[in-house]
Amino acid sequence: MTSIASVPQTARQLRACLVCSLVKHSDQFRREGCDNCESFLQLKFHPERLSECTTTSFDGYEKQIHLLLFVIIN
């Protein structure tokens, strides 16, 4: 059975997985876990790990995306 990754609806309370940098809403991490790392992070069953395994500071992640787009465009 395949699952479809959901896209965050709002930019508020977005968090990035510290392992794979996947960005989701904090509620989505609690409800679904991380799409890539759930097998070992098990955020669905241990929501208290959310603050340890994800971060709200992902400025660097956004900069990487912009740099990647810049490289692709040029």
- Supply the minimum distance, in Å, between the C-beta of residue 36 and Zn ion: 4
Of positions 14, 26, 30, 37, contacts Zn ion by CB under 5 A: 37
| Residue carrying the six token digits 């965050």 | 8
Q: With the C-alpha atoms ordered 41, 45, 46, 51, is the resulting torsion angle positive or negative?
A: positive
Judged by CB under 5 A, the stretch of 7-15, 29-37, 44-52, 58-66 that binds Zn ion is 29-37
Q: How many residues of this chain interact with Zn ion, rule: CB under 5 A?
A: 7
Among 15, 16, 17, 54, binds Zn ion (CB under 5 A): 17
3-state SS of the chain: helix, strand, coil percent to 5? 45, 10, 45
User: For Zn ion, which residue of 5, 20, 65, 69 counts as binding (CB under 5 A)?
Assistant: 20
Q: How near is the Cβ of 34 to Zn ion at its closest, in Å? A: 3
Instruction: Give the number of C-alpha atoms closer than 13 A to the C-alpha of residue 7, restricted to the C-beta side.
Output: 1
